[in-house]
Amino acid sequence: MILIFLLTTILAVLIVRQYKRARKLPPGPMALPIIGNIPQLVYQSWKHKGIVPAFEFFRKQYGNVFTLWLGPFPHISISDYETNHEVFVKNGNNYKNRLLPPLFEHFNAGFGLLFANGEIWTEMRRFTMLTLRNMGVGRDIMEQRVLEEIDARCAELNKEEVDGKIIVNHGEFLDLMVGSVINSILVGIRFDKHNKNDFFHLKHLTHQLNDVFTIFDMMAPVWIVKNFFPKRYAKTKSGMNAVSDYIGRVAEQRWEDVKSGKYVLNEENPKDFVDAFFIKMEKENKNGGHPAYTIKSLQYVLSDLWLAGHDTTAVTLASGFNQFMNHPEVMRKAKEELMRVTNNGSRSLSQNDRIETPYFNATVAEIQRHASVLNVNFWKTSDAPTTINGYQLDSGEILTAQLGGLHANENIFKDADKFNPDRFLENEKLLHQLIPFGIGKRSCVGENLARSNLYLMFGNLLLRYDIKPHTKLPSTADQLPYTSAKIPDRSVNLEFVRI
């Protein structure tokens, strides 16, 4: 009897406290104590066949800014551009810290770019953006590197031609092309016939992360996952360690060679990201050292750049070709524009051509909108009290720009489920409301590189090949709609015919 009384009292206190707090927050469905809105989120995800449609359901019910209680903690989602810009750009300094998923924070130990906050993260983000800019990202020097990779990949592909056709697993082909560019930028090594098996081994391990990249895995305490879900724990560990171990070995060996004099760093012209890091590390060591400039820190930064830089671009490319196969009229119209600009394909497409390719630009934008890589964006915490849509929020509140929901927002993108590049030509303002790389202080550091890769790879492949489905059409649906990241259909082969 006493136990029942105590439990009832505790439940009543929790309900009252939650009710008082909820009154200060943007609207949302009524939440239960302890478990919050998890039952409603699970049900709506099941009913609407995915997390993004579930978020769109809640947006329609409660507005562009709404609150979902994930367990005992309220999470605020923002699904329109204007509010996101106000919060994360104009007041960006208040939202630079990410709510770190316990499991990923556990494995990264405060290092890297994705799952870190504080001084080391700030320094690494600044250094990474400066280094990529100095290496020519967004300029002719980096464009040439990307075009050389496209040439090399296509030369290998052409050797597989039979009866005028090349049967291509476009997922593997695009994965390898993007991975090779990223790897050459980071450690100066591209993937060719001698080492491409290393790449596919890495991809096998990192793809396992897709299965465990759910809201549960983003929230659950480490001890729960480790003790009650050991297979998920092991998958996450092996996936996250795969890239850091591979690239880490390259970096460690080079550092040993630097110390022994076998490898000489060129301060005026570093070969790759690792060289630039070592040059900076030597300077810092002369001044007593800096915690951000260590071999351990480098391993995690390289891993994050490789994982995020590769997956965002490769997923978008695969999604784009799936859309092309299902909308051949769009591909035909884009190709006609590209052919005109490049004098019937007599030269490669260059970034300098962007101003002359409005329809192709709009097509790439529509591909990015549909690909919208994260179903659930990473959550951030506020460092100071703030006001959002008239609601006075306390410091420490959890919120995010819900990109998947924003890009599916019918109030912004009419008939959002349709693939329609013309929408960006009819209303140029929509381009500014498309934010596939995030917004604010935690936006993607490799945005310029990714934009360059997408433009050059899509464009130059369309110029070189007539592409059509082999045996059946690929699906344009998300293959894992209940996880936090979108996965395109990579199961269908395509036919490439040289032009």
Our CA dihedral for 231, 232, 233, 236, rounded to 10 degrees, sits at 120
CA nearest to 73, candidates 394, 398, 380, 385: 398
Percent of the chain with pLDDT over 90: 73
Domain assignments of the chain as residue spans, ordered by start: 22-94+374-435, 98-355+442-498
Please calculate the CA angle 385-386-390 and round it to the nearest 5 degrees.
135
DSSP string of 457-495? HHHHHHHHEEEEESSSPPP-S-SSTTSSB------S-EE
Q: Which of 495, 476, 441 is nearest to 113 (CA)?
A: 441
CA distance 302 to 157: 29
Q: 27-62 pLDDT, tens per residue?
A: 999 988 888 999 999 999 999 999 999 999 999 999
- pLDDT at residue 391 is higher than 70: yes
The 10 Å Cβ neighbour count of residue 189 is 14
Report the binding-site residues: 444
Residues 126-151 have pLDDT tens digits of: 999 999 999 887 677 889 999 999 99
Over residues 99-125, the mean pLDDT reads 93
Residue with token string 């290496």: 135
- The model carries a pTM of 0.94
pLDDT in tens, 449-475: 999 999 999 999 999 999 999 989 999
Distance from C-alpha of 26 to C-alpha of 43, rounded to nearest angstrom: 21
What pLDDT, on the 0 to 100 scale, is given for residue 402? 94
The whole-number average pLDDT for the span 6-29 is: 75
Cα 310 versus chain centre, distance: 9
Helix axes 170-187, 196-211, angle to 10 degrees: 110
Across 1-80, where does the E strand assignment appear? 65-70, 73-78
The predicted structure's pLDDT at residue 55: 95
CB 483 within 8 A of CB 214: yes
Tell me the binding residues for heme. 444
Q: Are 22 and 67 in contact (CB under 8 A)?
A: yes
pLDDT for residue 472:
92
- What would the two tokens of residue 195 be? 């080492």
- Sort strands 73-78 and 65-70 into parallel, antiparallel or unpaired: antiparallel
Nearby residues of 43 by Cβ (< 8 Å), 6 or more positions away:
none
Q: For residues 134 and 448, give the distance between their C-alpha atoms in angstroms, rounded to a whole number.
A: 13
- pLDDT at residue 240 in the model: 81
* Interval 82-108: pLDDT, tens: 999 999 999 888 999 999 999 989 988
Residue range 244-253: average pLDDT?
87
Q: What is the pLDDT at residue 331?
A: 98
Which numeric CATH code is attached to 22-94+374-435? 3.30.43.20
Among 91, 19, 184, 132, residue whose Cα is nearest residue 445? 132
pLDDT tier at 302, thresholds 50, 70, 90: very high
Predicted pLDDT at 7: 66
Half-sphere exposure of residue 322: CA atoms within 13 angstroms, side-chain side: 24
The arithmetic mean of pLDDT across residues 284-293, rounded, is 92
CA-based angle 375:376:381, to the nearest 5? Answer: 160
- Measured between alpha carbons, how far is 391 from 382 in angstroms, rounded to an integer? 14
- If one looks up domain 98-355+442-498 in CATH, what number appears? 1.10.630.10
Average pLDDT of the segment spanning 353-360: 98
CB neighbours of residue 17 within 10 Å? 12
Mean residue pLDDT across the chain? 92
